[in-house]
Structure 1
Amino acid sequence: MRQLPPFPDLRAFLHWLEGRGDMLGVDQPVELRHEMTALQLGALRAGGPALRFDHAHTGGTRARMPVVANLFGTRARVAAGLGMTLADLPMLGEVLAALRAPAPVEGVRDALSRWPMLQAALRARPRICRSAPVQEARDIADLTQIPAQTPWPLDAGPLITWPVVITRPHGTQADQIARYNLGVYRAQVLGPDRLILRWLAHRGGAAIASGLDDTLLTRAAGVQLKERRPLVLLAREAPLTLAHLRNMTAVTEMGGIILPPVPAFYLKPDNVQAITAQIAARAVDLLRLGAAQANAWQG
């Protein structure tokens, strides 16, 4: 399935981009505060190449390392990072869908036809390295030495915008790799050894940080959103904290529907059963499962 040479690390991918003229080196001094973001945004909108800033600085102090930006600025580069051409991406999607929900095997010929897909899946398994640069014992890293940008004027400080953050639930052992969560979060640099992470309430890292475990109910809700199917949440009306309001805003932005379970007094219900029946009918109607069940307001 792979059409391009393997890229064992980021350096190999960058070298490949340079070889095909899809990497532009910027040898002029560029300020990490606002200026670099403006250049990145221009390259992104123009469908331009990846950028390597060799002389990044902030406040007149030059960074100790270069900065690579706009790496995923085009669909073709995203496909290349996966080892494919843009035309091959639909095939990759079909393979991933088949691996997620494989159809029953129908005979020997069908089994043999799936062997290339199985080979690709086996090659995609992670490999555990016992000696790698990332595992070298060093002094505690100084986060302020990372050339982190301050993208926008109202940002509170420099942000590491694409860190892969590894978390595991409290009380688990380091070798329980299956319990690990890898997520990408915006991380604001506060000092040499301090970061602030922007947790999203619906993400695995936030659940781990809050001491919460996934449930079948929350998993089902996540599937509804991912598949762009109706999701209706009956959220209590009070008391609501800022956390509740932000979570409801996030769900709404993702396509969910917040339905406060309040009585429809225009129906003049006689008892609690009538109130709950109307609320349940409104929820079912919002799921678009069939003909309307709730008594609508007639004006």
Structure 2
Amino acid sequence: MDSALTSVGLPAALAIIMFGLGLSLTVGDFRRVATAPRVVLVALTCQLLVLPAIAFGLAIVFDLPPLLAVGLMLLAASPGGTTANLFSHLFRGDVALNISLTALNSVIAVVTVPVVTNFALVYFDGSGEGSLGLQFSKVVQVFAVVLVPVAAGMVVRHLSQRFADRMDKPVRIASAVILAGVVVATLVAERASIGGYLAAVGVVTTLFCLLSLSIGYIVPRALGSAYPQSIACSMEIGIHNSTLAITIAIGILGSTEIAVPAAVYGVVMFPLAAIFGAVVSRVAHRRGDLAPAPDQRVTSARMRKTL
């Protein structure tokens, strides 16, 4: 991929996206995790343990080439994207839970992304060279691209909530445009091999997305969570931060091929999440399960500004 995009474009894109996430967060979002420990634990278990296991299984079953398998595992380890909050709001989910999970996942990702990616590199690529987990400098890089912009956004919100609210919608729009640009640039850079890549990971990423959304909804529901919390978990678990995965793949691991599953996922996840949310919400409506979440009032004003 073009060096300017790798060295400047991708880090800048991710910084804007993560800064936008920080603009929507407060310290209270982290504190709120303690008010719903069971559903948070269920969501984190699905996100941190179940999804990497599913990605690993799909990579084995579909016999993915080593670097594409690593890319799928990296995608599975990436936290939920900020768009999950919007999708949750559209389908009457517990947005406060979404925001709390996104905040918590963004912190935990500093550890889990290197661990999962290192395992995938060692298992699929054999040598383990370029391993994130064994090189402290690369762990620091992950920390920088994930947490520093988020922290900056939170500081801005703390200093001027009015400014943060005013900037929320423009930053989200910019994030969506940037994500689309990153995905297109990644696919264009690999255009000579794109046919083979799509054949190799198109079905896999679609299945992974559908399984992520389904598990995120079914597991909390089966364990007694109400519809708003379950759909929030579904969107948080099913909508990944593809830009983070692409940035780590290209900017830190130096491999465009590893970035391909995240790029393809970035294309398929939005329509699939929209269809899934529409179907599930319709079923829930028929069953009378669409009562508003108790914590929904906490973020309703913020989300109205987003829309």
* TM-score with structure 1 setting the length: 0.26
| Rg larger for | 1
